[in-house]
């Protein structure tokens, strides 16, 4: 498989792309084991994008001045909730 090199200049969080840039390969939806899902309270979120930077699975996407979750790949680890100092992220049970 040919790996494409991408040149970027990163100075602020705004320079980081909307979503991780790895192209989908053999990866398929893998969040079936999650028992709870994250929810963002847009009223509390100040758009700092810290959660986006810390999510180990790259499944937090920038959404204007806030964020949204790629729930196909979020494993429900809770790191985003822990890192958010605005208390904007909570978890709800999967139905």
Q: How far is the CB of 26 from ligand SF4 (least distance, A)?
A: 19
Site residues (vs ligand SF4, CB under 6 A): 38, 40, 45-51, 55, 57, 59-60, 66-67, 69, 74-80, 83-84, 86, 88-89
CB nearer ligand SF4, residue 4 or residue 75: 75
Alpha-helical runs (H) found in 8-78: 50-54
CB 21 within 8 A of CB 79: no
User: Smallest gap, in angstroms, from Cβ of residue 49 to ligand SF4?
Assistant: 5
H-only helix segments in the chain: 50-54, 79-83
In the bound state with ligand SF4, the residue whose beta carbon lies nearer, of 6 and 47, is 47
User: Whose Cβ is closer to ligand SF4: residue 3's or residue 52's?
Assistant: 52
59, 17 Cβ separation under 8 angstroms = no
The pair of structure tokens assigned to 83 is 């890192």
């Amino acid at each position: 498989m040919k790996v494409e090199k991408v040149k970027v200049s990163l100075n602020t969080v705004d320079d980081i792309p909307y979503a991780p840039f790895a192209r989908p390969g053999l990866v398929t939806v893998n969040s079936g084991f999650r028992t709870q899902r994250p929810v963002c309270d847009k009223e509390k979120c100040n758009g700092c994008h810290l959660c986006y930077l810390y999510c180990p699975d790259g499944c937090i996407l920038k959404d204007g001045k806030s964020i949204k979750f790629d729930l196909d790949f979020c494993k429900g680890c809770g790191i985003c909730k822990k890192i958010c100092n605005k208390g904007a992220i909570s978890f709800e049970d999967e139905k």
